[in-house]
């Protein structure tokens, strides 16, 4: 069948790379894609917010399946529009994407179905939010309710800071996303990313991962979309994986079905592994970026078959196989990121870098200018490698980076340090 993938990041390059070998695939299109994706799929200039244009493209190119990568088109209801047009797609409906689109929605679902998460309050105005702050001990976590590109979370270490965060949200610092505010108890522990395919009824666990959100070495500096990741997450023991499925993922799937808004797609749970077990920090309603890059390096089974089973409601018959190796990815970003990145600088040396043992290079924000490859975003490249251990995968990734000639790019030099310091494999 012909498949259309929506998105343009490293996540979509990794998904394209994993979809391409499928025997079920005739032709892969990607909208809008990037320079790396263009090497393995046909990139098309489609605006995913124009639902009618996406549907028209699907009809004219006999697309049998649309895979929606990023959250914005999901929350905007692209899936619903495709479904209404009779086109099969991967991803949740607009109603089910509320698990990512509204933090308050998810907290209320957790409260209703007994899913472990931080204690919270949900507020539409500053006086009510400030009254809650008065009654609670710091640290407190203040969050804009809606999609804020990872920026709408403030960890307040004083009551004044918490009040200022509330004022910032309600005065529009995060746009429409901040018109409602969630205030939470601060949870202590180690974070992990957990992924599960869900078909509305059944959930199948994917591999685990850990990412590095801060821009600087040693996990310092401002938050980013993710500067690197590795899989598996050593903290996620088989017992914790089973507890996460039993206490968090399955109750969410059952709760969403009970409410009449079944969740189909991939649930990406941000977890805090606390002393009393796994607790939900937040949900995303799509694959993680850059976590997907490491998951795809380890997936042995046919990705397209798995995503089709998710859409078809046949996950109960699916078993996924994984490569036992560790995978690790290092993000190379353009100078300026996570502020305004420098665009249009030339990158050289990628073919030498790609020859290093066990290395795949996924493009996250690139474009071609004739033969020249140019940076075209904040996060630009994902240098991804497999190894028997985190240390080995890390060594392969940094050996590849040493071959890349891009003076206006930078990366963290310590991706995977936490796992290596623990002496885990
Ligand atoms: P979120 O966008 O909700 O995932 O939050 C971004 C980051 O803020 C998380 O990855 C955590 O590091 C941190 N965070 C969010 N909520 C909490 C919480 N309740 N307790 C501790 N840390 C949190
Ligand atoms: N890496 C975090 C995210 O995809 O949101």
Query: In the prediction, which pLDDT does 172 show?
Result: 79
Inter-residue contact 186 to 202 (CB < 8 Å): no
Which of 43-47, 226-230, 248-252, 416-420 is the least confident region? Answer: 416-420
CATH architecture of 190-317: 2-Layer Sandwich (3.30)
Choose the residue to mutate in 270, 279, 284, 291 for probing ligand 1, maximizing ligand atoms within 8 Å of C-beta: 270
Looking at the predicted structure, is the pLDDT value of residue 80 above 60? yes
Ligand 1 center to 153 CA (angstroms): 7
Looking at the predicted structure, is the pLDDT value of residue 156 above 80? yes
Give residue limits of the domains in the chain. Answer: 2-91, 125-179, 190-317, 326-421
Judge if the beta carbon of residue 184 lies within 6 A of ligand 1: yes
Three-state SS for 142?
strand
Query: In the prediction, which pLDDT does 147 show?
Result: 83
Give the tokens for residue 173.
Answer: 């610092």
Looking at the predicted structure, is the pLDDT value of residue 425 above 70? no
DSSP per position, 227-282: SEEEES-TT--HHHHHHHIIIIIHHHHHHHHHTT---EEEEEEEEEEETTEEEEEE
CATH architecture of 326-421: Alpha-Beta Complex (3.90)
As a whole-number percent, the residues of the chain with pLDDT over 90 amount to: 88
CB contact burial 350-367 (16+ within 10 A = b; e otherwise): beebeebebbbbbbbbbb
Looking at the predicted structure, is the pLDDT value of residue 209 above 80? yes
Nearest residue (CA) to ligand 1, atom 3: 282
Radius of gyration for the alpha carbons in the chain, expressed in angstroms and rounded: 21
Ligand 2 center to 86 CA (angstroms): 30
Query: In the prediction, which pLDDT does 422 show?
Result: 78
Judge if the beta carbon of residue 417 lies within 6 A of ligand 1: no
Strands 42-43 and 27-32: parallel
Judge if the beta carbon of residue 180 lies within 6 A of ligand 2: no
Which of 34-48, 88-102, 137-151, 404-418 is the least confident region? Answer: 137-151
Indicate which atom in ligand 1 lies nearest the CA of residue 270: 4
Cβ burial of 38 (10 Å; 0-12, 13-18, 19+) is middle
Reported as a pLDDT band with limits 50, 70 and 90, residue 49 is very high
Query: In the prediction, which pLDDT does 424 show?
Result: 57
Choose the residue to mutate in 115, 155, 174 for probing ligand 1, maximizing ligand atoms within 8 Å of C-beta: 155
Please state the rounded mean pLDDT for residues 414-423. Answer: 87
For the stretch 82-117, pLDDT in tens is 999 999 999 999 999 999 989 999 999 999 999 999
Nearest listed ligand to the Cα of residue 293: 2
pTM, two decimal places: 0.95
Please tell me the CATH superfamily of domain 125-179, with its number: ATP-grasp fold, A domain (3.30.1490.20)
Domain 125-179 matches domain 190-317 at the CATH topology level? no
Please state the rounded mean pLDDT for residues 8-32. Answer: 98
Judge if the beta carbon of residue 289 lies within 6 A of ligand 2: yes
Three-state SS for 344?
coil
Query: Considering only CA atoms, which of 394, 391, 425 is closest in space to residue 411?
Result: 394
Choose the residue to mutate in 141, 151, 182, 279 for probing ligand 1, maximizing ligand atoms within 8 Å of C-beta: 141
Nearest listed ligand to the Cα of residue 295: 2
Query: In the prediction, which pLDDT does 150 show?
Result: 67
Please state the rounded mean pLDDT for residues 245-262. Answer: 98
Reported as a pLDDT band with limits 50, 70 and 90, residue 173 is confident
For the stretch 355-411, pLDDT in tens is 998 999 999 999 999 999 999 999 999 999 999 999 999 999 999 999 999 999 999
**Average pLDDT, whole number, for the chain?**
95
Query: In the prediction, which pLDDT does 279 show?
Result: 98
Q: Within 10 Å of residue 317's Cβ, how many Cβ atoms?
A: 8
Class of domain 2-91: alpha beta
Give the tokens for residue 120.
Answer: 């919270």
């Amino acid at each position: 069948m012909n498949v259309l993938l929506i998105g343009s990041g490293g996540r979509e390059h990794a998904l394209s790379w994993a979809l391409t070998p499928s025997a079920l695939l005739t032709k892969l299109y990607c909208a809008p894609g990037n320079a790396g994706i263009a090497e393995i799929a046909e990139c098309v200039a489609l605006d995913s917010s124009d639902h009618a244009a996406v549907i028209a493209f699907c009809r004219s190119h006999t697309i049998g399946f649309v895979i929606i990568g990023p959250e914005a088109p999901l929350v905007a209801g692209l899936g619903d529009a495709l479904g209404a047009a009779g086109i099969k797609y991967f991803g949740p409906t607009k109603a089910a994407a509320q698990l990512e689109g509204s933090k308050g929605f998810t907290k209320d679902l957790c409260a209703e179905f007994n899913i472990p998460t931080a204690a919270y309050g949900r507020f539409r105005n500053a006086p009510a939010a400030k009254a809650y702050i008065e009654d609670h001990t710091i640290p407190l976590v203040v969050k804009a309710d809606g999609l804020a590109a990872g920026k709408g979370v403030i960890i307040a270490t004083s009551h004044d800071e918490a009040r200022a965060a509330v004022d910032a949200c309600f005065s529009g610092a995060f746009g429409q996303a901040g018109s409602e505010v969630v205030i939470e108890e601060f949870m202590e522990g180690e974070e992990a990313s957990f992924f599960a395919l869900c078909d509305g009824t059944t959930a199948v666990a994917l591999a685990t991962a850990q990412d590095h959100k801060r821009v600087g070495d040693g996990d310092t500096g401002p938050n980013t979309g993710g500067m690197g990741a590795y899989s598996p997450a050593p903290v996620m023991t088989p017992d914790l994986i089973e507890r996460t499925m039993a206490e968090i993922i399955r109750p969410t799937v059952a709760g969403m079905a009970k409410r009449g808004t079944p969740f189909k797609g991939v649930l990406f749970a941000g977890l805090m592994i606390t002393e009393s077990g796994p607790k939900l920090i937040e949900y995303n309603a799509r694959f993680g970026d850059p976590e997907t890059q490491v998951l795809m390096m380890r997936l042995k089974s046919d990705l397209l078959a798995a995503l089709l089973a998710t859409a078809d409601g046949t996950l109960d018959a699916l078993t996924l196989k994984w490569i036992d190796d560790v995978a690790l990815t290092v993000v190379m970003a353009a100078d300026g990121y996570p502020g305004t990145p420098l665009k249009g600088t030339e990158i050289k040396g990628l073919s030498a870098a790609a020859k290093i043992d066990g290395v795949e290079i996924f493009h996250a924000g690139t474009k071609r200018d004739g033969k020249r490859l140019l940076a075209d975003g904040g996060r630009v490249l994902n240098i991804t490698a497999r190894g028997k251990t985190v240390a080995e995968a890390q060594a392969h990734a940094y050996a590849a980076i040493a071959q890349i000639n891009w003076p206006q790019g930078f990366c963290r030099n310590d991706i995977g340090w936490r796992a290596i310091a623990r002496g885990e494999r």
